[in-house]
């Protein structure tokens, strides 16, 4: 039975289009970007009312949010977590560190920016980016996710 013929999978598919579940991975951040991401969940920004929530398991997530540059010790874990998120998925790089390594560039402990380890779909600039920018980036990620669901890529 194909995905569209199976009523349970059809329901899961519909739910995934309407509410994006995020998995957050700190690849080596100073915690500044992590605090701003968590701020998006507070009553002030309240992204849960839009169906966006942080999920504790990558196997149940749609969008991988990465903060910080990739360190030599987190590189393998990032690869594994990325593989555990079911397709279609979207990767969001939050802050300057996952894009360029920022202030950590040149450190012997740094493996490199995120796109040297896994593909990145959305970059959110800032050190750290404000919650408004993070919400905007996640909205962009949801659009990409829906398009991938529709095209099956
Ligand atoms: S971008 Fe700035 S705030 Fe975010 S992890 Fe890097 S140094 Fe910290």
Give the per-residue pLDDT at 17.
65
To which residue do tokens 């990465």 refer? Answer: 66
Q: Which residue's entry shows tokens 């593909």?
A: 119
Ligand 1 atom with minimal separation from the 67 CA: 5
pLDDT over 70 at 31, yes or no? yes
Q: In this predicted structure, what is the pLDDT of residue 92?
A: 98
Nearest to 109 by CA among 2, 41, 49, 28: 28
- Domains of the chain, residue spans: 19-151
Backbone torsions φ then ψ of 38, nearest 5 degrees: -65, -35
pLDDT over 60 (residue 113): yes
pTM exceeds 0.85 = yes
153 or 117: which leads in pLDDT: 117
CATH of 19-151, picked from 3.30.540.10, 3.40.50.12280, 2.40.37.10, 3.30.200.100, is: 3.40.50.12280
Q: Phi and psi for 18 in degrees, rounded to 5?
A: -90, -25
- pLDDT value, residue 49: 85
Q: How far is the CA of 37 from the centre of ligand 1 (A)?
A: 12
Give me ligand 1 centre to Cα 54, in Å. Answer: 20
Q: Place 4 in a pLDDT band, splitting at 50, 70 and 90.
A: low
């Amino acid at each position: 039975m194909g995905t569209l013929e199976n009523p349970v999978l059809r329901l899961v598919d519909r739910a995934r289009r309407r509410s994006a579940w995020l998995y957050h991975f700190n690849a080596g951040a100073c915690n500044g970007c992590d605090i701003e991401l968590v701020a998006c969940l507070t009553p002030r920004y309240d992204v849960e009312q839009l169906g966006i929530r942080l999920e504790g398991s990558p196997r149940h997530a749609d969008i991988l949010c990465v903060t910080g540059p990739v360190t030599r010790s987190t590189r393998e874990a990032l690869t594994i977590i990325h593989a555990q998120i079911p397709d279609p998925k979207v990767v969001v790089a939050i802050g300057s560190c996952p894009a360029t390594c920022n202030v950590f560039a040149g450190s012997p402990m740094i493996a490199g920016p995120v796109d040297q380890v896994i593909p990145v779909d959305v970059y959110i600039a800032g050190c750290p980016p404000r919650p408004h920018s993070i919400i905007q980036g996640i909205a962009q990620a949801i659009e990409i996710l829906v398009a991938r669901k529709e095209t099956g890529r």
